[in-house]
Amino acid sequence: MRTSSPNPKRSLPVALLLFLAFAAVAYTPPPLYRRNTNLQQASTCKECHLAITEQWERSPHARAERTQNLLFGRMYFQSLKATRGATMLNCGPCHETTLFVNQDFFFTRDISHEGVTCVFCHMVSAPGPSTGIPPYELDLEHYYGSVRNSIPTTSHQSGYSTYLRTSEYCGACHSYANQNGVKISETYAEWKRSKYAKQGVTCQSCHMPGAPGRISYLGPARPKVPDHSFSAELAEKARPGAAATVALRAVRNRANDSLVVSAVVTNTGWGHSLPTGNDQNMAIIRLRVLTEAGAIVWESDPFADWNNSVFGVTLADELGSWPAETWAATRVLQNRRIKAGGSATARYRVPVGDQKGPYRVEAQLLFRRARPNTLETYGLSEETYGAERVLAEASIRVP
Ligand code: HEC
Ligand code: HEC
Ligand code: HEC
Ligand code: HEC
Ligand code: HEC
């Protein structure tokens, strides 16, 4: 991140920003260095950009900071202690975006609780130096958008930037390495290698669709009001057809005491790997075999069958233990994310004993945002952080 502004008093060299960031971990920075930049909160924008603000309020972006997203918050806190503050710059700036602009490291301002907020995303004028986290050039005087001829308003100056329409813009935050240089998220690179990049289907095409309307009640009708809710449903519906599928095959073995089942998962509509992003994200298969009357004969346990039923990335730490924490990892042990357009197969040998057929085999592909051991480590609720959301289902009958 680098800030630039026509008024020299309002610009701060990167080196000083870095120094302040580290200093804040160890001791209270001298008030002299505090910036008095008064960034506008989302509630200000709401007056004139009502629909967009209401969508953003519901979005994961609005909850990315430590007090609202406890998965991030507790992990971040633990990592700061364990690395003596090294993760402050390596983790903080994308989740708590305004802190590093107005130096409010003690959360004295309400805007500090807004996570990935309006002003941060819209002060981005261009890509910045590749070493920046995130690598942006910020211009505090304008709010940039993709409307070339926006009408003037007394509330703010507007700027036109084609950058906001690109995948590179989202990719600047949606790819990251930890302080050990281990690539944690590669969403942008996964997209770049996919057919979508070649077809010009950007992150925004799937995640920020929009209908004609007004971007502000004060302005004219415009061809597209981009949706800011960043929900899973929105992305799933953005293109025709299912975004992910699971297909089952089952046969009896020779001895007739087991079923040999395969579940083929295909990433049909995610614009990147399935799952993508943080290493906690995973897709799992839960399989069960039932009698025709509905009695359960057998159920899989995905976490006892990690290399088969769990799709995602596994990190290892210095001692080789896995799965390692996002911030403790020193290498990627295994990458089982399913590429855009690709498939992967999970295989099962299901003992049915002398249970007579016919059977019904059911499989669910589920999305989970955190591993069971992570919930334990950080004392997170199973309900919120361990919930499993259905991405696809299949069921077949075995005579
Ligand atoms: C300033 C950094 C930043 C920028 C820019 C940004 N994001 Fe995000 N995004 C985040 C963070 C941090 C989260 C995680 C929020 C959470 O779950 O706590 C997130 C979450 C998301 C999610 C939800 C993920 C989930 O697990 O449900 C989607 C989808 C998303 N972003 C898409 C985009 C797209 C598309 C763009 C570009 C238009 C974009 N983001 C730009 C930082 C950013
Ligand atoms: C994660 C970054 C991000 C956040 C947070 C965000 N926006 Fe946006 N916003 C964008 C992007 C990207 C576009 C352009 C999308 C396009 O044109 O496809 C956009 C478009 C807009 C537009 C229409 C102008 C245009 O470029 O089409 C307005 C107005 C706007 N945003 C206001 C807001 C307000 C108000 C908030 C907070 C309540 C907000 N945005 C939060 C990224 C963001
Ligand atoms: C007093 C009303 C008002 C407030 C408050 C306001 N805006 Fe705007 N904004 C407008 C109007 C009017 C436009 C132009 C609409 C048009 O031309 O269609 C606009 C345009 C924009 C654009 C598009 C710029 C471009 O050229 O693409 C962005 C981005 C934007 N506003 C962001 C914000 C953000 C972020 C906030 C809060 C921090 C905010 N606005 C607060 C009235 C307002
Ligand atoms: C072809 C459409 C498409 C494109 C292009 C696309 N996505 Fe997605 N994305 C999806 C779908 C579908 C999902 C799954 C929604 C769900 O969770 O069910 C998804 C999920 C996500 C998630 C949350 C998934 C997780 O595992 O936590 C993030 C974050 C995300 N996308 C970011 C991006 C970014 C950044 C880009 C651009 C580099 C991008 N997407 C491009 C369709 C797309
Ligand atoms: C360049 C920006 C960036 C950096 C740096 C960054 N993150 Fe994130 N983080 C994101 C984005 C974007 C998401 C949401 C999409 C995804 O899952 O990758 C996210 C998601 C997460 C999640 C999952 C949140 C949830 O509720 O599902 C955790 C946990 C997390 N990050 C922890 C960390 C830690 C720890 C670090 C430091 C090692 C870190 N992040 C560094 C951008 C960043």
d(CA 117, CA 288): 43
pLDDT in tens, 185-226: 999 999 999 999 999 999 999 999 999 999 999 999 999 999
Phi and psi at residue 256, in whole multiples of 5°?
Answer: 65, 25
Q: Mean pLDDT by 10-residue block, N- to C-terminus, for the chain (399 residues)?
A: 54 41 44 66 98 98 98 98 94 96 91 97 96 95 95 96 98 97 98 98 97 97 97 95 97 90 98 98 97 94 96 96 95 97 98 86 98 96 97 96
Q: 134 CB under 6 A from ligand 4?
A: no
Q: What is the C-alpha to C-alpha distance for residues 202 and 185, in angstroms, rounded to an integer?
A: 18
Binding site membership of 95 for ligand 1 (Cβ less than 6 Å): yes
User: What amino acid occupies position 110?
Assistant: D
Phi and psi at residue 77, to the nearest 5°? -60, -45
Kindly report the protein residue whose alpha carbon is nearest to atom 34 of ligand 4.
203
Q: What's the first-to-final CA gap in the chain, in angstroms?
A: 61
Of 120, 158, 154, residue with least CA distance to 41: 120
Q: Which of 218, 236, 238 is nearest to 226 (CA)?
A: 238
Mutate to test the pocket of ligand 2, among 121, 170, 207 (most ligand atoms within 8 A of CB): 121
Residue the block writes with tokens 């061809």: 223
Quick check: 43 and 219 in contact, CB under 8 A? no
Please give all residues whose beta carbon lies within 6 A of any atom in ligand 3, as ranges: 40, 44-45, 47-49, 118-119, 122, 143, 145-147, 150-151, 153, 155-156, 158, 160, 215-216, 218-220, 222
What the block records as the tokens of 396 is 């077949």
**CA-CA distances (angstroms) from residue 17 to 14, 106, 117, 377?**
5, 16, 20, 32
Instruction: Kindly list the distances between the CA atom of residue 322 and the CA atoms of 123, 170, 301, 333, 368, in Å, as whole numbers in the listed order.
Output: 39, 30, 18, 8, 18
